Amino acid sequence: MSHRSDVAATSLAGVFVTLTDSARSFPRHWHGTYGLGLVDRGAQRSASGRGAVEAFAGQCMTHNPGEVHDGAPIGGTARRWRMFHIEPAAMACLFGDARRSPLEWHAPVMDDATLRTGLGRAFAASDAAQAAQAAGSAIDRVDTAPQAMLEEALLLAIGKAAELARAPRPGRPDEPNLSLVIERLADDFEHAPTLDELASLAGTSRYTLVRQFGRRHGLPPMAWLLQLRLQRARDRIAAGCSLADTALFCGFSDQSHLTRLFTRQYGHTPGAWRKATATQAHGRAITF
């Protein structure tokens, strides 16, 4: 089964680009970042926070931090897509104090010529900024103009996407005590709770807990916990922690266990992510 994924640091702190060309199906997972991207070739079907959606070549895709989604190729052939992954803190920096509440995409797939063109310019600006930084590093001088162009192009693309996807998300009442379940799941990775313990904490049966939690958060409790452990691992790796220590801290049996699950969920290895975050200032692409 064909699969290739590149992850690259941009010249903007907390903003990364992935380019994926794959016939692989990805299981349900979530990212701690905002995602905004473009399908270049092929098509895929995926779950999202708004139900099942399909995205075809030329269409734009989004995801919110913590929003559960998956992805499978339509027709069994590889599809190619590019994504900006933007840390929430980086998103706040991009907009400064202009946004009084966190941005939330309200459309997983958008088909708009202006947005498509804007995203194309942002990806091109990212490539130009990486090239300029690589050249600047070689002669000990960095041209800031390409970075400013990237920031401008990305702001325009994000703003256009927000304008197109501004319909309010249907409200869903929070079931009682699910916040206590979330707190317990995040409390101690080494001693994961049982469903019996979580059900007792929520004051309900195990079946009702799993059903309510899945309806609210998109995954049952233990699957959600795995995503949280992977996100914490991602953060620790970006902070410079070793893969072995990260695996143990985040509740994985060993480094190979972390690598296997991390790669299955994100498409690239923990080592590739470590190299991308370590070279944020240089913007060098990592291929595997």
pLDDT digits (tens, 9 = 90+) for 27-39: 999 999 999 999 9
Q: What is the mean pLDDT of the chain?
A: 85
Please say whether the beta carbons of 118 and 112 come within 8 A: no
- pLDDT band for 44, please (50, 70, 90 cuts): very high
* H/E segment holding residue 4: strand 3-9
Q: Which residues contact 212 (CB under 8 A, 6 or more apart)?
A: 175, 178, 202, 204
pLDDT at 100: 52
- Which pTM value belongs to this model? 0.74
Give the separation between CA 145 and CA 67, rounded to whole angstroms. 34
pLDDT at 169: 46
Residue 9 has pLDDT above 60, yes or no: yes
- pLDDT band for 120, please (50, 70, 90 cuts): very high
Residue 260 has pLDDT above 60, yes or no: yes
Residue type, 120: G
229 phi and psi, to 5 degrees? -60, -40
- Least confident range from 146-150, 159-163, 216-220, 264-268: namely 146-150
What mean pLDDT do residues 99-125 have? 87
Extents of the domains making up the chain: 3-170, 178-274
What mean pLDDT do residues 66-81 have? 93
pLDDT at 131: 80
SS3 269: coil
**Which CATH number is associated with domain 3-170?**
2.60.120.10
Beta pairing, strands 15-22 & 285-287? unpaired
Give the separation between CA 88 and CA 158, rounded to whole angstroms. 13
163-203: pLDDT as tens digits: 887 755 444 444 557 888 988 888 877 777 888 888 888 88
- Least confident range from 54-68, 169-183, 237-251, 260-274: namely 169-183
Which CATH number is 178-274's, of 3.10.20.310, 1.10.10.10, 3.40.980.10, 1.10.10.60?
1.10.10.60
- Judge whether 3-170 and 178-274 match in fold: no
Task: Looking at 62-204, list the stretches that DSSP marks H as alpha helix, in order from N- to C-terminal side.
Answer: 88-95, 113-138, 145-164, 178-187, 195-202
pLDDT at 232: 93
C-alpha of 103 from chain center: 15
- pLDDT band for 94, please (50, 70, 90 cuts): confident
- Least confident range from 37-51, 136-150, 249-263: namely 136-150
